Amino acid sequence: MKKIKLIFLVLICSSLINCAKRGIPDGGPKDEDPPILLNAEPAENSVYFNDDRIRLYFNEYIKLKDFRKQLVVSPPIDKSFYSISPQSGASKYIQIDIKEQLDENSTYVFNFGQSVVDNNEENKLPFFSYAFSTGEYVDSLYVSGNITSSLERKSDDFISTFLYPINENFSDSIIYNGLPNYVGSSLDSTNFKMTNLKKGKYLLLALKDENGNYKFDPEFEKIGFVDEFIDLPINDSLNIKLFKEEIPFKSFKPFLETENRVGFGFKGNYKDVEIELIDEKKIKYIITKNKDSDTLNYWFKNKEYDSLKFVVKSPLYKEKFTLKFKEMEKDSLVLNPSTKSVLELNEKFKIYSNLPITNINKDQINILNKDSLLIPFTAELDKNKFDINFDFELLPNDSYIVNLYPNAITDFLETTNDTISYKFKTKSRSDYGTLKLGISNVKEYPVIIHLTNNKDEVIREKILNSFDDPCVFEYLKPADYFVKIIFDKNKNQMWDTGSFLNRIQPEKVFHYEEEFVIRANWILEEKIVIK
């Protein structure tokens, strides 16, 4: 019995010791130090480099995190010409194997960005790079600056920077077909610095290089450039604005969407595009832009043809298409209101149609308030041919009924509506806030004021043509707002993008950094000084 008690006591003690061990802290502070480079073979900034292997030794185990995205080699080397390890797991060194002969008398830089981290806590070794030269010296010049978005409040990160030497081989097409001599990156900030550069004159380009091919693909990539060629050495910090170019128009093969509608998918600017029949067939038609996609819709009434031949053209584009018909469903008229509950006091009531509208019969429409009084109104068709805009006096704390009686709306296919009623109400003035802005130091008018939300979506817009024009935003929902100011240089009431080939920068935009907090039943007055 004593032996059993002794064994039981030993087991309890052992259990307590193990539990105590699990609760004992490791006894040291958390490691917050980044890895340290101890040694490099060959040494950093080596000259007359002729090796096929580089090793970079660190004071602790490291790993490469997201290095495929962050690694920038300058001048660019074909990825098949070298390999890097470890690509997974941990090691005390980075190994670079060179598989091909490098160019003579050139300085090479392997910039790892912030991909080198320690194995345990993933502390970053920021902006780690390794340079060497195949010639007698390492180039030491640099260029630095800032890259921001031209239109959006939030700037993109991981923007590539390219330098192209201005010599007998230079042409503007090099950014589409050639490779830069030097490559850098803003990494996860808006700042960039390109080092180990050779003296000379260069084109400096910034690019959101989505596919990582070191070439500009205008269809899906943003670009920015410095107006003048830079002449190294230069000490000035350079500011670059990133923008998306407007690409040339191109139409795709048309397709039959419904019995009376042909779709022409496209890319680029469609505003000066025409779609015409090649044949002498008499067809009544109308052309509209699809709201939700890059598609031009060709609506027609005649159905007696087996096929139609089209020509799609713009000032710089022309292409012919043939479309064969088949049995398809017919479009039917659907009308939807802009609201089914509350209409904000600053908004207009709208009716959205799925078919182009050709006629509005006001005699078959009336609007009543909560007292059943008839409200005077106007109803106009939007230029898109789908939206009907109603204009009438909205009063706070009121309710409305919009009645559409038969034949009030006629669409392109000559179908009309049945009796429809839309009901909605308005809120109290005290549910809204007001923002009054005083904007000074504007050098040239007009300017476009955009009030945006946290997602950079435009909530309100005002155009100021002079210093005396008021800038007041009434009936704002309580929320946080931001202000951007567009300098409308060509006075077309919209922001215009830039063009690299034409050396046109996008229209300037000033982003006010502070947010405006709007509260219900409150008037906020603020001053903005343009910098």
CATH architecture assignment, domain 250-324 = Sandwich (2.60)
Cα–Cα distance measured from residue 345 to residue 481, given in angstroms and rounded to the nearest whole number? 18
Does domain 432-529 bear CATH number 1.20.1440.130?
no
Q: What is the pLDDT of residues 264-310, one digit of tens each?
A: 999 999 989 999 988 767 788 999 999 889 999 999 987 777 888 99
What pLDDT was estimated at residue 37? 96
Establish whether domains 141-242 and 250-324 are of one fold.
Answer: yes
Q: pTM value?
A: 0.81
Would you call 108 exposed, middle or buried from its count of C-beta atoms within 10 A (0-12, 13-18, 19+)? buried
The string of DSSP letters for 232-294 reads ES--SPEEEEEBPPPPPPEEPPPEEEETTEEEEEEES--TT-EEEESS-----EEEEE-SSSS
Q: Per-residue pLDDT tens for 169-219? A: 899 999 999 888 888 888 888 999 999 999 999 999 999 999 888 899 999
Q: Tell me the residue type at 238.
A: L
Q: Assign 3-state DSSP to the chain and report helix, strand, coil percentages, each to 5.
A: 5, 45, 50
The tokens describing 496, both together, are 């215009």
Q: What is the mean pLDDT of residues 428-440?
A: 97
- Specify burial of residue 402 (Cβ count, 10 A radius: 0-12, 13-18, 19+): buried
DSSP 331: P
70-81 pLDDT, tens digit per residue, is 788 888 888 889
The mean-pLDDT minimum among 52-56, 327-331, 454-458 falls in: 327-331
Number of Cβ within a 10 Å radius of residue 58: 20
Computed over its alpha carbons, how large is the radius of gyration of the chain?
Answer: 33
What pLDDT shows up at residue 8?
44
- pLDDT, residue 327, reads 86
Fold assignment, 335-427: Immunoglobulin-like (2.60.40)
Q: Are 378 and 348 in contact (CB under 8 A)?
A: no
Q: Which CATH class name applies to 37-133?
A: mainly beta
**Smallest Cα–Cα separation from 505: which of 171, 241, 306, 187?**
241
In this prediction, residue 28 carries a pLDDT of: 61
Task: Name the amino acid, one letter, at 432.
Answer: Y
Residue 246 — pLDDT band, cuts 50, 70, 90? very high
What's residue 26's pLDDT? 52
What pLDDT does 72 receive? 83
Contact 368, 404 (CB under 8 A): no
pLDDT reading at 1 higher than 80: no
Q: Is residue 229 predicted with pLDDT exceeding 70?
A: yes
Query: Would you call 212 exposed, middle or buried from its count of C-beta atoms within 10 A (0-12, 13-18, 19+)?
Result: exposed
Q: β-pairing, 72-74 with 107-113?
A: antiparallel
For the chain, give every domain's residue range: 37-133, 141-242, 250-324, 335-427, 432-529
Burial 2-21 (b: 16+ CB within 10 A, else e): eeeeeeeeeeeeeeeeeeee
Q: How confident is the model at residue 3 (pLDDT cuts 50, 70, 90)?
A: very low
Q: What is the CATH number of domain 141-242?
A: 2.60.40
How would residue 474 be classed by pLDDT, with cut points 50, 70 and 90? very high
Split at pLDDT 50, 70, 90, the class of 365 is very high
Q: Judge whether residue 5 has pLDDT over 50.
A: no
> To the nearest whole number, what is the mean pLDDT of the chain?
91
pLDDT digits (tens, 9 = 90+) for 382-403: 999 999 999 999 999 999 999 9
Give the mean pLDDT of 406-432: 97
